[in-house]
Structure 1
């Protein structure tokens, strides 16, 4: 037998083996397939969306993928299974995952299966004991890699990862370390901060929107702090109604200072330029000022439950992600605490900051990534730290900007020309023709947990 004949026979054998394994996987029921995965606990749930089956999964993961013998934790996932031949959307949540039938826009556009993954160290996916040194972007990427390796063999359609905000960051980190796990990535409003207290955000906040709106919002913040005692009394009453506890060292003074400072950022993050006329002026009652603060300020983040829930995010921000510097200069004479000090959010302050992590990801996205779509909102402060990504037909990469868009920018909010381009990318990646859907996520059985973590969190702690 010649060497060429031997190579041909070997290639045929490998192809036959792959085809046989694929056939065997698809001859199985999805429930049986999942049950056969070592370390996977599967429960099929009732009331799935029409045409789907609905599963709660818990998958045993190493705390440290480099040394698996150091302990494990169970990572929670929710699978909506439609068809083994359909595309699959891998939703790399950046926070906790609710057990729900919520389908992301991308899932609905592609008529896809959906696998929603809770991020390590959040909610039910927390190791015990909680060793913070293993909460890194590389360890989380390895979580997603093991999940894909275990579940993807069942499915014949293409896989696309997606995420919004921290979930979009997580999707890009996964691709950085395991670029071939999925066939494409859609990351919405995903920032790339360079260090603690990234000053690019201050520049953005000083320029976003109309000057008159920025000035009205700054005056409003000052009105809140000038009525400090009244606001503290209203916070106290509201906390009793909600059964909230505040144990931060500075008490309600610190709660007020941090909430007021964050409010300016969140107004542009979640609001619109049309909301500027709603900002209360100096003639407003204490109650009117407080109602606006409840709507736009993250009061619940400062509760004991809030700090415990979101501590993993703040730990990651302090250790690897970096985070924005808030615009507080106009409040300096009225603040008792520095809202840019993140020490209140974590039980352990990591040192030193890992400067290499974000620069490494930035370089990969800019120069080596393929099949990546980024979407940002024009007035969203997080856009100050948007990834650099070239619009490349060869690499199948594109960055979109939604005019007047906020942190809710996604594929359904693109203008018609950009949407056609986005659909072309998805078609190229998956072979599926995207369909039109309604824009409003909140009408689709819930909120995107990565975009509105404080909304879903409020529901949890009420």
Structure 2
């Protein structure tokens, strides 16, 4: 996120000196070092006394200890005797009485500092989502994808939060963006006593996977009519000229070492899938300001059409990035619980060869495919609307993932839409009055002035 929000708080590490902009006196530095070193030892000892917790390493971030951790979790929280796995986490510790931000990207272990952490000068706990990267069970359990669920990850975070609350005793706020924001919301739904508040950014809410009218309305209204027409024309032309453009795609795939046999099956199916994703990606990562770059589909040469597409939204789904060690776990979750946007693509009528390809099972290896059940998403949606407390949702006006939103309850909860923003929507880009309101609410929740 931009620096604007972090600049709303003075985050001096030693009271007075840094806040006032002066240098820390040498004597003060000398006096602080032994105390800081002692505190680091105490915190490490406390961490190591937690059953199942291991301190892998200790580094320094901005003068404060940064602990790399692993924590033993049950593979199945409903049957703890069925085996365990180690989940990766980190703790950036500042003080036990400061707020703590619990952060997940919803994927692998994130290394960045969140906007909330900066705003509140908080401790930060980051956690890797189960079955992503190194937080995956070993052996046969690692191939049992039935344990990759919203409920199981919420239970992971519940156990970790409870374990660390004995050390970090201030307010706890959950946060994340995109799938991370969704994950923070699910944690709050299933364990509402863990966190004092949740701030979720661009968290998609596919409450009814059979109803994609919200996404359809988005693509009928986003940006300008001229831009939408031009993008649709380019997308259609990419399929009309399939025979001319597919060899370019295959040449790139060969140069990059991309294969498609285990997931999409053939290079032609992979090409069509990439084309179908093109307009979505244009808006997810771009803006109205990119519209003048869209070529005239009728006049553009094959090279112009293909090269522009590669710069704007043409993403390749290859075996190497979709299996167990890549984005495959996300698509497994989408196929079983999270849902997906099954767009109609009316403007592509007559030029699609694979009309049923645009769904997550298409990009999964056979052993990871499964069937969808709407029960959990419908439950979370109802709970957030009626019972959620101290929850804030930030969405981007021009972000396709923000087309289906969470509706917060009236229990000290809020939703903001950032004008013109894409999937990188932030509090810092809200209009001034809304930004001030949101920041004041977060500080109140965190007990920070």
Smaller-chain TM-score range?
Answer: 0.7 to 0.9
Corresponding position of 1:39: 52
Corresponding position of 2:399: 380
> Residue 77 of structure 1 aligns to a residue in which SS?
strand
Counterpart Cα distance in 2 of 1:252 and 1:417: 50
Matched-pair contact (CA < 8 Å) for 2:53–2:71: yes
Corresponding position of 2:218: 204
- Unaligned residue ranges in structure 2 (runs of 5+): 1-38
Counterpart Cα distance in 2 of 1:117 and 1:249: 31
Counterpart Cα distance in 1 of 2:133 and 2:40: 35
Matched-pair contact (CA < 8 Å) for 2:340–2:360: no
> Quick one: higher RCO (CA 8 Å, sep 6+), 1 or 2?
1
How many residues in Structure 1 have an aligned counterpart in Structure 2?
402
- Cα gap change, 1:411/1:114 in structure 2, threshold over 3 Å: closer, same or farther? same
Counterpart Cα distance in 2 of 1:294 and 1:126: 33
Corresponding position of 2:384: 365
1:186 to 199, 207, 228: 199
Corresponding position of 2:335: 318
Counterpart Cα distance in 2 of 1:412 and 1:225: 40
Distance apart, 1:160 and its partner CA: 0.6
1:277 to 271, 292, 313: 292
- Cα gap change, 1:70/1:33 in structure 2, threshold over 3 Å: closer, same or farther? same
- Cα gap change, 1:28/1:79 in structure 2, threshold over 3 Å: closer, same or farther? same
Corresponding position of 1:333: 350
- Cα gap change, 1:85/1:222 in structure 2, threshold over 3 Å: closer, same or farther? same
TM-score (norm 1): 0.82
Matches within 5 A, 1:125-164: 125-128=135-138, 129=140, 130-164=143-177
Corresponding position of 1:437: none
Distance apart, 1:235 and its partner CA: 2.2
Corresponding position of 2:244: 230
> Residue 61 of structure 2 aligns to a residue in which SS?
coil
2:442 to 426, 429, 453: 426
Distance apart, 1:162 and its partner CA: 0.1
- Cα gap change, 1:144/1:132 in structure 2, threshold over 3 Å: closer, same or farther? same
Corresponding position of 1:118: 128
Matched-pair contact (CA < 8 Å) for 1:373–1:398: yes
> Residue 274 of structure 1 aligns to a residue in which SS?
helix
1:342 to 360, 369, 377: 360
> Residue 299 of structure 1 aligns to a residue in which SS?
coil
2:427 to 404, 411, 428: 411
1:293 to 299, 303, 309: 309
Corresponding position of 1:76: 88
- Unaligned residue ranges in structure 1 (runs of 5+): 1-25, 434-462
Counterpart Cα distance in 2 of 1:342 and 1:27: 45
> Residue 88 of structure 2 aligns to a residue in which SS?
strand
> Residue 258 of structure 1 aligns to a residue in which SS?
helix
Counterpart Cα distance in 1 of 2:78 and 2:233: 52
Describe the superposition over 1:146-181 as per-residue Cα deviations: whole angstroms up to 9, x where unpaired.
000111210122111001111111101100111111
Corresponding position of 2:260: 246
> Residue 350 of structure 1 aligns to a residue in which SS?
coil
Distance apart, 1:202 and its partner CA: 1.7
1:63 to 71, 75, 93: 75
